[in-house]
């Protein structure tokens, strides 16, 4: 794996070292997990903002709700009642 140098504050580096020591992971592994968690958070925030805008457009929000209802009925298509 190719590596890169990233500049961080001494305080952040100290925190990362402590986390690495406590978890047994490398600083790189911890940073990778942190970046992934932050990326996911940003994605969810973007989705939440998009749904908030959609809710503001009454007609579009009704269309969204109707489509969800259609998908709800399709979820069980082909399944027995016991499944």
- The answer to whether the predicted template modeling score (pTM) of the entire model surpasses 0.95 is no
What is the tally of structural domains in the chain?
Answer: 1
Three-state secondary structure of 27-41: HHHHHHHHHHHHHHH
Residue 1 lies in a domain: no
Residue 19 lies in a domain: yes
Which residue range(s) make up the domain with 52?
10-73
What pLDDT, on the 0 to 100 scale, is given for residue 27?
97
Give the CB-side neighbour count of residue 76, counting CA atoms within 13 A: 7
Give the whole-angstrom CA distance, residue 38 versus residue 69. 32
Q: Which two tokens stand for residue 12?
A: 């952040």
User: What are 2-41's pLDDT values in tens digits?
Assistant: 989 999 999 999 999 999 999 999 999 999 999 999 999 9
């Amino acid at each position: 794996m190719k590596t890169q140098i990233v500049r961080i504050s001494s305080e952040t580096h100290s925190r990362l070292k402590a986390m690495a020591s406590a978890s047994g992971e490398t600083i790189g592994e911890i940073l990778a997990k942190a970046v992934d968690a932050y990326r996911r958070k940003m994605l969810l925030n973007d989705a939440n903002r998009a749904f908030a805008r959609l809710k503001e457009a009454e007609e579009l929000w009704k269309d969204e709700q109707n489509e969800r209802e259609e998908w709800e009925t399709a979820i069980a298509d082909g399944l027995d009642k016991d499944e």
